[in-house]
Structure 1
Amino acid sequence: MDFSLVQTVHAFDAASKLKKPTILVVDDSVSSLDQISAVLQVFYQVKVATGGAKALEIAGANTPPDLILLDVMMPGLSGYQVCKKLKDEAFTRDIPVIFLTANSSVDDEASGLLLGAADFIAKPVNPPILLARVATQMQLKAAADRLRDQNDHLEREVQKRSHELAAIQDVTIHAMASLAETRDNETGNHIRRTQNYIRALVCRPGNNS
């Protein structure tokens, strides 16, 4: 095995600082499952499924896999059907899917990519290529997860600042009304009525503010 590839995979594994990433391997061939698992389990936690229904069950669990290696030709649900179901569900759509196939054509790959697959690997698998392709997709997923977390954090901060600004505006209006009342009671009441009217308009159903 190429030494630089081993270094790359080890570096990614160390950077996770947590448990090993989990990879779900889906193939109706037990021998293929054994071969692929033997290559991956040095660097990753490996789960296996011999059919599409079981793969969907595992992917939809509370702790979904970080990546799925999915055989295209299987009895029952095909790999394409499984991929479509995964991408249709919000909980699983961000899991990278790499198709495993013994008979790949340009049209087959185009169809898989349109369904949302990240890559294709030819069977029987070549261990260095398998590890390299998996490591690449895991790095891309980690970057996407970080970006998603940052966006969620920014959104929460914007909402927090908006609430704080609204509170400051309310306090300011109350202070202005109280100050006005010391000089003219009707002016102070007018300010409060205007404030309540504006609040009612902003908070009415259908307003997203």
Structure 2
Amino acid sequence: MDLKQYMVDTNAVRYRVNKAETIKPARRFWSKAMSEVINGESVIFLPQEVDRELTNQSFSFIEFENSPELNNIAEIKEISEIIPNITSQEIEELIIEMSAYITARFRKELTAVTAVSKLKYPSIPDARILCTSWQRDCVLVTGNISDFILLLLLESPEDDKLYNILNESYIKIPKELHSEIHSDEVFAGYFQKLVELIGDL
């Protein structure tokens, strides 16, 4: 049996304790994921970028004695495997540029099928997370879907690869739109270059 591989974004960790409106759906995900880990059905990865962000955020939690946040982070790290970022500066910049292009060129179509109204391109940290999740063949778990729309175009449209922890559902792009975007000459050029850069790592 193939293990399901989850890669969790920073907010997916913190939503478990830090916002009233996010606690219930986040805890349902984590309860399910932790049960799967215990049963040998899945593994949870924290990319180095998320580990770094959690470490930096923890300084203020320590200073203000925020034990719920600190205990939550410690518990998640205990059941997770911290893995290296799979990326480079050139790849990160390309991912950001690709994302900026598709969220401008195909904004109306992508908004209609994803129900994400504020599409945007990712930050450098998010580009690292996106690339690492793609290369490790993970399900990326996040509450910031708009930062990771490009991931849906790097995967097959049939695959469950982007999970919205807030509404507890996988985000998908229909085959027709997936094909239309891949047929776009500008996107196709970006995609070919990205695959080449990944191959050089």
Task: State the structure with more CA Rg.
Answer: 1
Question: With structure 1 as the length reference, what TM-score do the two structures score?
Answer: 0.29
Pick 1 or 2: higher relative contact order, CA cutoff 8 A, min separation 6. 2
Question: With structure 2 as the length reference, what TM-score do the two structures score?
Answer: 0.30
